[in-house]
Amino acid sequence: MYAGASGQVNDFEVAPGGYSPLLISAVAYYGGTNNPNIVPNATFTWAGRFVNPLTDPTSISTYKVGPAPSGFKSCPAKPAVTPAVPILQQGGSGVASTLYPGFTIMTAAQTATEVFVGPVPGVTAPYCLLIQATSVPSGVIGAHTVIVSQSP
């Protein structure tokens, strides 16, 4: 994920019963997208929320399906119950994840270049999550849609 860029080509799917969380990493850059200059040692804070296809723009509430049949699908309706979306890191000193042994839940203030995300405990699939990385200190945000479903 590039901070400041969000795209349908970078949507991800997570199996609701899976025990291997999805790795998402971020890279900060400046300059044009044709010839970017990578910012070394950039860090990011992370956040996640449920996507609401009734109120979120199409760029967030749809995801790419491929390779066949390729195209775009709309995110399912937002679940009635939406607990906090756990953003995980391997190891670390945070609260241990009961669903993912060896991972801890990050706080909003912690920074990292890569995080992990999986199904939200207690929420029935399918649903979509929006995962956002905010570059420190610039505040530029990059985002990706993650679909939690048995199939895209």
Question: Does residue 1 sit within a domain?
Answer: no
How far is 48 from 145, CA to CA, in rounded Å? 10
φ/ψ (deg, to 5) at 59 = -60, -20
What is d(CA 130, CA 134) in angstroms, rounded to the nearest whole number?
Answer: 13
Note the pLDDT of residue 69.
67
Q: What angle do CA 95, 101, 105 make, to 5 degrees?
A: 30
Domain assignment present for residue 151? The answer is no
Cα atoms in the 13 Å half-sphere on the side-chain side of 85: 22
The Cα–Cα gap between 31 and 16 comes to: 38
45 within domain boundaries:
yes
Write down the pLDDT at residue 56.
93
Segments forming the whole domain that contains residue 74? 8-126+135-145
3 in any annotated domain: no
Asked if residue 58 belongs to a domain, the reply is yes
User: 38 — phi, psi (to 5°)?
Assistant: -70, 140
User: pTM of the full predicted structure?
Assistant: 0.84
Domain count, the chain: 1
pLDDT computed for residue 68 by the predictor: 63
Q: What's the pLDDT score for residue 3?
A: 42
Question: Is the residue at 30 inside a domain?
Answer: yes
Look at residue 36 and tell me if it is in a domain.
yes
Q: Which residues of the chain have pLDDT under 70?
A: 1-12, 18-19, 33, 67-69, 151-152
| Residue 74 falls inside a structural domain | yes
